[in-house]
Structure 1
């Protein structure tokens, strides 16, 4: 193997591991911060802004973790057909996870009041986490087999 191929392999393994770890940490952090029944104040505004930035960063990672800031050859090595398929399948699972979570939030809202803000956070959190977990799992499986 060449140096670039070895580097691409290390980056791909790191990306697969990072996707899984980030999903777990994201969900755990959100679970600890969900009871937000008070109106928006300065600390909650900062917390909400941090959550938005974190969610956007995770989506950016999922969409562009294929060497966006590397050369064209490295991007080609990192974004082979398998990885593009894994990314597509992960995004699809994230979409269906969002739909399922939205349906669940809707059903729960008949028994427990859920604010629009809490519902949106639940939907977005689970959609991103499912997509990241799926991507990490598919990538690790492919890297281990290949």
Structure 2
């Protein structure tokens, strides 16, 4: 193996682990920020947390996709298998969004849910489902490939 191949392999393993960890931490962080959470924080802190999460997810996409690396590393990181895993993760994320939106709609008949809370639920579960699926597919492929 060349140094670039070794580097791409290490980055791919890190990306697979990071996707799973980020999904779990994201859901946990979001669970603690709803109005009925044990700790009531000001809205400005919620906004700041969302900005931090958006930046972390963008950094993950840039770093994990090899954007900050050379063309050779980027090509190794974004092979056909990874592209298929991304496609499958995004498809599951889409269906997760549809399912979560349907669930939020159904719950709204029994419990009032604001548009902001509903949107956050849909976004949170969509991101988490897609990240978990991508991380799982990548780890499985790296382990057996």
**TM-score, L = length of structure 1:** 0.89
Match of 1:20 in 2: 20
Say how many residue pairs are matched: 142
Aligned positions of 1:1-146 closer than 5 A = 1-35=1-35, 43-55=42-54, 57-58=56-57, 61-62=60-61, 65-146=64-145
Counterparts of 1:142 and 1:53, CA distance in 2:
30
Structure 2, gaps ≥5 residues long: none
CA contact (8 A) 1:55 1:128 kept: no
> Any idea what SS the aligned residue of 2:42 has?
helix
Counterparts of 2:70 and 2:51, CA distance in 1:
29
- Residue deviations 1:70-117 (CA, integer Å, cap 9, x gap): 100000000000000001111111111011000000000000000000
Q: Name which of structure 1's ranges 6-15 and 51-60 shifts more when overlaid on structure 2.
A: 51-60
Counterparts of 2:66 and 2:143, CA distance in 1:
20
Using the TM superposition, give the Cα deviation of residue 29 of structure 1 relative to its aligned residue in structure 2, in angstroms: 0.8
CA contact (8 A) 1:58 1:128 kept: no
Using the TM superposition, give the Cα deviation of residue 63 of structure 1 relative to its aligned residue in structure 2, in angstroms: 7.4
Counterparts of 1:86 and 1:52, CA distance in 2:
27
CA contact (8 A) 2:16 2:139 kept: yes
Structure 1, gaps ≥5 residues long: none
- Residue deviations 1:28-77 (CA, integer Å, cap 9, x gap): 1111111269xxxx931331242244146426635772101110000000
